[in-house]
Structure 1
Amino acid sequence: MRPEAAAAGKAGVELRELHEIPEFEQAFRLFDDIWHPEPLNAPVSVEMMRALSHAGNYVAGAYDGEELVGASVGFLAAPVGEVLHSHVTGAVRKGAGHALKLHQRAWALARGLDRVTWTFDPLVRRNAHFNLAKLGARPEAYLREFYGVMADEVNAGDESDRLLAVWRLTSPEAVTAASGRPYQPGRAAEAEPGLLAEYGKPVARVAGGRVVLVELPEDIEAVRRADPGAARAWRLAVREVLGGMMDEGATVTGFARGGYVVERQ
């Protein structure tokens, strides 16, 4: 069974591309329910989904009967004929997001594309684990203040640093993950702490070894609500440690032990 079909069956959803205005309206409402953005700050409009779909880009949904429980929107990117950029993916059913990403992978491979890219907040532990372990993608750039000020309930009050995830669709990491075995970096056990969580606060360490662990808070969104000062401290610490190492040429090889496993050259 194809990976996307197996994941869809496990989640109890049907995956399909979206082509009609009522479907795009469902996706718009789903994204609104997830992020609660300001009216002028929606992730993507109905009209834009219509245009992207019509032009041959990726707009798909995960359905439980007539209910849309997940949706994803992406567009073809440079280099031409090689890359799909996944702009937004959201789901309210466990497993639906994973099924959609595998559907997106199959869609891209069928069109001769060899990678999918997207951005994500480096502080959100569950997303980092999903992207790096469950999918086998890797962060390849640290992007400071990528979106500027974001007016939604999830991101409001924080700076919009992002990691650029690059999902090389036929890489050993992606193939391993697609088979149902979360990818684990081979040298995770020897990683030396470079950033630790101690009593909920970030503590940077001088790590001179080749393999470094950059730990994340368990739930940065809860930290933002309870202690904005601590959330900002985490933002600056991860920017300095992870962003700094990546700027110097280090490579994020996976996610394990609650953090990024980073290897220096």
Structure 2
Amino acid sequence: MTHELHIKSLSTLEELQEVQQLETLVWGMDSIPTHQTLTAVKNGGLVIGGYLDEQLVGFQYSFPGFKDGKVFLCSHLLAIHPEHQKKGYGRLLKLAQKEEALKKGYDLICWTYDPLESVNANLNIGKLKAVCRTYMEDCYGKLEGSLNEGLSTDRFMVEWTINQDLQADANLPSEAAQLVTVEKDEQGFPVITEYRLDTYADIIAIPIPTEIQKMKKENLSLAIDWRSKTREIFKYLFAQGYAVVGIERIKEDNIQHYILQKQK
């Protein structure tokens, strides 16, 4: 039997204490104090919870941001209980966040995520149609928890314009320029064997592995190699005016591609 996810905005101390417990379970590090989340909710922020049979199984936390004279919603944490991941609940929470943000007068939501986390990439870029033009090197320094262990905390900063309907995939050329050569090692993991940065193409495909957490556990040096090489590639391309605008998944090769387009 399939149970429908019930989503609502959270504001009471008791609800936010539940959020704390789920945050610790999912992220494996100290949770945000309730006095912070409670203050954010009372001052333009949001905490949205997803429930199954009255049990909190997911949440999203965001607070107001301000940059270059513009107010936006800074989306800080999204967590789904390990037993309920990969069921589409993250997308449902983000769409609920969008609706609540629009009610509060926001038209832009921004957040960061690890560009090598393919599931997050598929949600943020593939499904929500956010775009990225900013690479943040070692954004948070060293973080506790297994999800962040072993790699520098590099992040994409994505921008999600919410005062318009989600757009279908852009009509991009069928063949994007390939700057990176990938082969498989004896463990079946993808390895970058060669790459170049010079290009005049309007559309570029850049691969990432689909199982970075597994790679970290079984071949940390390879995961670090992916981090350092993709960091150089993305920072260079963003500086040249490209933006990440889409995702192309090729699961059988244990990779997926970010699609970058030259911005006019």
Normalised by the length of structure 2, the TM-score is 0.86
Q: Structure 1 residue aligned with 2:223, among 223, 231, 235?
A: 231
- Match in the other structure for 1:264: 262
1:78-110 CA-to-partner distances (Å, cap 9, x unmatched) read: 157741000101112322211110011011111
- Match in the other structure for 2:195: 205
- Match in the other structure for 2:147: 154
- Match in the other structure for 1:109: 102
- Match in the other structure for 2:78: 89
Counterpart-to-counterpart distance in 1, 2:36 and 2:25: 18
Aligned residues between the structures: 244
Cα 1:13–1:23, aligned 2, differ >3 Å: closer, same or farther?
same
1:175 match: secondary structure: coil
5+ residue gaps, structure 2: 185-189, 250-255
- Match in the other structure for 2:166: 175
Counterpart-to-counterpart distance in 2, 1:190 and 1:230: 28
Backbone CA RMSD of aligned residues: 1.9
Could you say which structure has the higher helix fraction? Answer: 1
2:8 match: secondary structure: strand
- Match in the other structure for 1:67: 55
Could you say which structure has the higher strand fraction? Answer: 2
- Match in the other structure for 2:124: 131
Aligned-partner residue type, residue 112 of structure 1? G
- Match in the other structure for 2:5: 13
Cα 1:212–1:81, aligned 2, differ >3 Å: closer, same or farther?
closer
Determine if the alignment matches structure 1 residue 244 to structure 2 residue 236. yes
Confirm or deny: 8 A CA contact 1:71 1:91 kept in the other structure: yes
**Shift of residue 210, structure 1, vs aligned partner:** 2.6
Runs of 4+ in 1 over 3 A off after TM superposition: 79-82
Aligned-partner residue type, residue 26 of structure 1? E
5+ residue gaps, structure 1: 1-9, 177-182
Confirm or deny: 8 A CA contact 1:18 1:60 kept in the other structure: yes
Q: Structure 2 residue aligned with 1:194, among 179, 197, 204?
A: 179
Confirm or deny: 8 A CA contact 1:196 1:214 kept in the other structure: no
Counterpart-to-counterpart distance in 1, 2:227 and 2:101: 33
